[in-house]
């Protein structure tokens, strides 16, 4: 269904011309993006012609899919007003802002938390269905640059008298007042940190798609948002922003693991802004490293390098040796995806050097508890996989798999797939199928779109051997995993 606008939509026509997309091409892209979110759309070139020449406005998720389709071609976010569809059914581009002002940052974050869950309760697949496919690596440019310039806010205290002074009528700058703001103390912050620690354990063991992991957005909406809108001293506020930044980064990481790239991007941007309010530079670097991994995973190796190097530069002399090792490792991943073997090797050597300097008594942040030599070896193996160096992949994968644990189940499954790829590229089909079978056993115990994609990549690499009984058996074993809903 569509509704009439007044006259032709010249804005949409101009942007389509700029992007070099035909009417038929746009219809196809919109239908494809809809299919990725379980929507059956049948737009054609005539539909697009009506949008442009008659100003008809498609309803539902379509306007946001149109913006996402054009944005993918242009390589940047395209807001609805740019294509003349700002009056479409509302699904705001929440979470992309990186406000300079702390109070505006609180509003931006809490708006994201509320809208996500509101969409889920409405039964429409959440706000992320409307924003289908709208990930754009260019959206990270402003947050990264603003964080580099000012990685810590000067003051974050939020006192009752200042809130009352800012209130104009029944609504303050953060929306309708519902009684007195909550006074926040250190005990409130501890509860958030405990929730973050629990969520990290569940995510590592069961994957980002496990139902327990989905409680993180709920925690942000129900627990963290009221605290951010409460009153607190500068000291308590810094701690509160840090704990909320950790939870928000976790929400982004879990969305990333389940293939919700657009949701992950918005959570990451808000997590970086909250880390700035916390004056926690290493935590900000950790968020940038997460952004870098996402950009690298999506095929933007150069941008991944930029984000990782931003984390490294701001943390020189501040972060612990183990933290710096992790940041250099993420840089290596990006260099490898970009195809720069020399830079990747240099970053890996630096990461290993920093890791050798780390000591048990170092004041490493709690969120880095997962990082050990096993993790370094696993990521090094993936670097060499991207660089097509199977001997190095096998060497590092053997080290990564030397001590499998029940605590990091997903990581163990990913390592097994990488090992299978290395065996295949070394000409060892039997070993590749054996490792692939072991990986499937792990994948069946967790909910992780990333793990599924790794398995799918392995099966594609095995296609030249499709008639081999071992490959046929592996493919049959993988079928339930590949056809399961994301």
Task: List pLDDT tens digits, range 93-137.
Answer: 688 999 999 999 999 999 999 875 444 433 344 444 444 446 789
Same domain flag for 99 and 15: no
- Considering the domain architecture, whether residues 100 and 28 belong to the same structural domain is answered as no
Residues 125 and 223 in one domain: yes
CA distance linking residue 92 with residue 61, whole number of Å: 12
Q: Tens digits of per-residue pLDDT, 456-486?
A: 999 999 999 989 999 999 999 998 888 755 4
Residues 50 and 108 in one domain: no
3-class DSSP state for residue 58? strand
Q: Of 44, 62, 83, which closes a domain? A: 83
What pTM was estimated for this model as a whole?
0.78
Q: What is the DSSP string of 20-54?
A: T--HHHHHHHHHHHHHHTT------HHHHHHHHHS
Tokens of 175: 């929306």
- Who wins on pLDDT, 248 or 259? 248
Q: Give the per-residue pLDDT at 89.
A: 47
Residue 175 lies in a domain: no
User: Is 267 inside any structural domain?
Assistant: yes
pLDDT of residue 159: 85
Q: What is the pLDDT of residue 62?
A: 80
Instruction: Report the pLDDT value the prediction gives residue 87, as an integer from 0 to 100.
Output: 64
For the chain, how many structural domains are there in total? 3
Mean pLDDT, residues 333-355: 97
Query: Based on the domain organization, do 103 and 231 belong to the same domain?
Result: yes
- Domain range for 484 is 376-486
Residue bearing tokens 């499998």: 404
Q: Which two tokens stand for residue 216?
A: 């993180």
pLDDT band at 434 (very low <50, low <70, confident <90, very high): very high
* Cβ neighbours for 14, distance < 8 A, ≥ 6 positions apart: none
CATH number at residue 9: 1.10.260
Q: How far apart are CA 20 and CA 74, in angstroms?
A: 9
Instruction: Judge if 151 and 30 occupy the same domain.
Output: no
pLDDT for 36 equals: 63
In this structure, the answer to whether residues 99 and 79 fall within a common structural domain is: no
Q: Does 13 share its domain with 110?
A: no
Task: Provide the pLDDT for residue 327.
Answer: 98
Instruction: Tally Cβ neighbours within 10 Å of residue 479.
Output: 10
What token pair was written down for 397? 């994968």
Picking from 258, 279, 300, the residue at the C-terminal end of a domain is 279
Instruction: List pLDDT tens digits, range 33-78.
Output: 777 655 678 899 999 999 999 888 886 678 878 988 898 888 877 8
Higher pLDDT, 447 or 481: 481
Shared domain check, 483 and 382? yes
Percent of the chain with pLDDT over 70: 84
d(CA 336, CA 345) in angstroms, rounded, equals 9
Residue whose C-alpha is closest to residue 450's, from 418, 476, 414: 414
**What pairing do the DSSP bridges indicate for beta strands 2-3 and 171-172?**
unpaired
């Amino acid at each position: 269904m569509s509704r009439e606008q007044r006259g032709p939509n010249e804005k949409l026509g101009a942007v389509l011309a700029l992007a070099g997309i035909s009417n038929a091409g746009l219809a196809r892209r919109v239908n494809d993006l809809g299919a990725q979110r379980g929507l059956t759309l049948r737009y054609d070139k005539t539909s697009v012609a009506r949008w442009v020449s008659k100003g008809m406005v498609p309803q539902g998720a379509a306007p946001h899919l149109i913006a996402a389709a054009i944005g993918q071609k242009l390589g940047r976010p395209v807001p609805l007003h740019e294509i003349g569809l700002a009056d479409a059914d509302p699904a705001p581009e929440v979470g992309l802002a990186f406000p300079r002002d702390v109070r505006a940052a609180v509003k931006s974050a809490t708006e994201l938390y509320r809208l996500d869950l509101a969409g889920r309760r409405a039964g429409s697949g959440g706000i992320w269905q409307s924003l289908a496919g709208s990930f754009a690596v260019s959206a990270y440019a402003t947050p990264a640059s603003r964080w580099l310039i000012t990685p810590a806010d000067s003051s974050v205290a939020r006192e009752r008298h200042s809130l009352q002074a800012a209130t104009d009528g029944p609504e303050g700058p953060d929306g309708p007042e519902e009684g007195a703001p909550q006074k926040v103390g250190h005990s409130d912050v501890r509860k958030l940190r405990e929730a973050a620690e629990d969520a990290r354990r569940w995510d590592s063991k069961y994957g980002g798609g496990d139902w327990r992991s989905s409680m993180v957005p709920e925690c942000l909406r129900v627990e963290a948002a009221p605290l951010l809108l409460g009153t607190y001293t500068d000291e308590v506020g810094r701690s509160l922003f840090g704990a909320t930044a950790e939870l928000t980064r976790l929400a982004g990481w879990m969305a990333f693991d389940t293939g919700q790239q657009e949701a992950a991007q918005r959570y990451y941007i808000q997590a970086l802004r909250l880390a700035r309010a916390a004056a926690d530079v290493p935590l900000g670097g950790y968020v940038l490293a997460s952004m870098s991994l996402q950009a690298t995973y999506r095929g933007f190796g150069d941008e991944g390098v930029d984000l990782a190097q931003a984390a490294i530069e701001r943390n020189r002399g501040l972060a612990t040796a183990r933290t710096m090792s992790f940041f250099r490792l993420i840089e290596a991943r990006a260099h490898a995806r970009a195809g720069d073997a020399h830079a990747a090797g240099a970053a890996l050597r630096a990461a290993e050097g920093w890791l050798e300097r780390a000591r048990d008594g170092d004041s490493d942040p709690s969120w880095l508890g997962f990082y050990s030599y096993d993790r370094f070896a696993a990521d090094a193996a993936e670097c060499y996989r991207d660089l097509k160096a199977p001997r190095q992949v096998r060497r590092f994968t053997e080290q990564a798999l030397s001590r499998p644990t029940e605590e990091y189940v997903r990581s163990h499954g990913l390592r097994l797939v990488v090992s299978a790829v290395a065996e295949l590229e070394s000409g060892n089909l039997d070993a590749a199928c054996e490792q692939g079978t072991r990986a499937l056993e792990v994948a069946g115990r967790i909910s992780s779109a990333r793990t599924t994609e790794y398995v799918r990549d392995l099966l594609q690499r095995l296609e030249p051997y499709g008639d081999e009984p071992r490959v046929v058996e592996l493919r049959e074993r993988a079928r339930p995993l590949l056809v399961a809903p994301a």
